[in-house]
């Protein structure tokens, strides 16, 4: 997966955003912002990509993504440190 310069900038902004960067567990909105994709893409990756970090589901209505695992995924697919 190759990100455009605009997408890389969005990811960098998300990483430094207090809304995303300070939490270790992210809800789908924060996770999609961090990855620079829509929530639909996030869910598709979860179902279709073996290398995408699976979220925790502490209750049926709560989905939590691990921030560090998402950052490692972004770094792996971009080939550039996130």
Domain range summary for the chain, segments of one domain joined by +: 5-78
Q: Which fold has domain 5-78?
A: Multidrug-efflux Transporter Regulator; Chain: A; Domain 2 (1.10.1660)
Please write the tens of the pLDDT for every residue from 31-68: 999 999 999 999 999 999 999 999 999 999 999 999 99
Q: How many helices (H) and strands (E) does the chain have?
A: 5, 3
Task: With a cut of 50, say whether residue 21 has pLDDT above it.
Answer: no
Predicted local confidence at residue 4, as pLDDT: 73
Task: With a cut of 60, say whether residue 17 has pLDDT above it.
Answer: no
Report the greatest alpha carbon distance in the chain.
Answer: 37
Instruction: Give the whole-angstrom CA distance, residue 78 versus residue 66.
Output: 18
Instruction: Give the whole-angstrom CA distance, residue 51 versus residue 5.
Output: 23
Instruction: Give the whole-angstrom CA distance, residue 21 versus residue 61.
Output: 23
């Amino acid at each position: 997966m190759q990100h455009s310069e605009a997408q890389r900038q969005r990811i960098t902004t998300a990483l430094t955003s207090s809304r995303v960067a300070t939490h270790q567990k992210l809800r789908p909105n924060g996770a999609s912002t961090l990855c620079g994709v829509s929530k639909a893409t996030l869910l598709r990756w979860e179902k279709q990509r073996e290398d995408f970090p699976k979220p925790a589901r502490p209750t049926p209505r709560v989905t939590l993504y691990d921030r560090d695992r998402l950052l490692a995924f972004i770094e792996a697919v971009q080939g550039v440190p996130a």
